[in-house]
Structure 1
């Protein structure tokens, strides 16, 4: 979401309403305006775009009819929710109970995040670099405080910042749904992973290496670091699951021995 309304530069087009619609559509596609973002007040937006208020209203009505914005009486115009849930609640429930789905989720993330890290190393702006650095600091602070909830949010924001820095709009929209699943803990339980890690230091070090390579514009290293991070997550979960199985088997054997 942006508060920099300089993105609404004056309109210069024969069809004013068409130009306003095209301008706002472009800002939405490129995620300058994200779902839930509030547009400037009508008078302010008309002044910024250099159009009349009737023409602006015409454009906003068309955007509302297209389902791109929601106009809330007395509150203003907002970018509509444009990304649906990746899966239905029923399917999410099934997936959460089946371990193979989790590893398919990691397989998907491995490829997409490696791709995003490579692009981010090649394309990031100073704004992107600041966002990535800020999330590393947030993860460090949550680690020091032992605040696992804050750590999880910073973790997700960090990966989202990398996808933003890729400047690939399709990748950005697709990964928004994936990170929503992550945030809801459907597949990825960071608290469980941190327990396997022991202190969380390994995860933090991996995130730092990804950030370092991206900010240094080392595309190969950024891609490799992103892959290594997901490899670590997968190996850790597999180890934890194996350990849990061994413990369950050991308990069963002890119970069987006592019963015998």
Structure 2
């Protein structure tokens, strides 16, 4: 193993081995290192990393499964259980998708939470957090230069998730993971209409860079303001898009009337 790489799990002593394993995995869930659906390493890998026996690892995993924190899928491995769940049921998602007023509520929520997360990230981000953010911004640049819409959307979701992770607020991390799942599924989110309002996507890219730079500079106020400005741009673009669609609908109906009367 490369000694320069920080291991995911540290070796532990022999006293209360299974209880110690349980405690360490619980800590990783609480802090958001392990999230809903995350697959744990195999028993053998965990035993090697922690320098304990496989039976002790198995005993700890069984305790975590009994407490509802892990799900063991035979033939697949151990996974973090769905602790937070989805933000809303599939039926409610479909209902919201048909009613545009819901998007405004969604943006109001994101505006406050992401501004708060960016502020915390500027104060708390570690060098590893900043490194992850730099890599994502580089991917955003690449996607922009290639006009790769799918890569842009994926990087966008990862960008906002990385900022929440860098806040080191476990409740925020778990709660927003559900919200970003909606972004990943393209619910309440259409990057193409934002690019259309933007013209080229250049403004969106710069907004993300502004947030990242403020975090790198450890400027909490500037990070919060940049995050707010980004969500406000999304909201303004959405309103503009809806107004345009209404005008187009009126124009089509007017033309239809003229064709009928003609």
Distance (Å, rounded) in 2 between the aligned partners of 1:128 and 1:159:
12
User: Which range moved further: 241-250 or 98-107?
Assistant: 241-250
- Separation in 1, partners of 2:253, 2:153: 35
Moved more, 170-179 or 78-87: 78-87
Distance 1:215 1:221 in 2: 11
Deviation at 1:118, TM superposition (A): 0.2
**Unaligned segments of structure 1, at least 5 residues:** none
For 1:46 and 1:75, locate their aligned partners in 2 and report how far apart those are by CA, in whole Å.
Answer: 18
CA distance in structure 2 between the aligned counterparts of 1:148 and 1:155, rounded to whole angstroms: 10
Q: Report the CA distance between 1:178 and its aligned residue.
A: 0.3
The question of whether the paired residues in 1 share the 8 Å contact of 2:47 and 2:53 is answered with: yes
CA distance in 1 between counterparts of 2:135 and 2:44 reads 35
Corresponding residue SS for 1:6: coil
Gaps of 5+ in 2: none
Residue 195 of structure 1: how far off its partner (Å): 1.7
* 1:237 equivalent in structure 2: 238
Looking at structure 2, the residues matched to 118 and 139 of structure 1 have their Cα atoms a distance apart, in angstroms, of: 22
Q: Is the 8 A contact 1:132 1:162 kept in 2?
A: yes
Asked if 1:227 corresponds to 2:195, the answer is no
Residues 164-187 of structure 1 deviation map (CA, whole Å, 9 limit, x = unaligned):
111111001001000001111111
CA apart distance, 1:44: 4.1
Aligned position for 1:200: 201
Say whether the 8 Å CA contact 1:116–1:163 is kept in structure 2.
yes
Q: Are 2:16 and 1:15 equivalent residues in the alignment?
A: yes
2:85 aligned residue: 84
Q: Deviations over 1:87-125 (max 9, x none)?
A: 111111100011110000000000000000000000111
Partner of 2:179: 178
Q: Does 1:45 align with 2:46?
A: yes
Q: Which residue of 1 aligns with 2:62?
A: 61
TM-score w.r.t. the length of structure 2 is 0.91
**Counterpart-to-counterpart distance in 1, 2:246 and 2:48:** 65
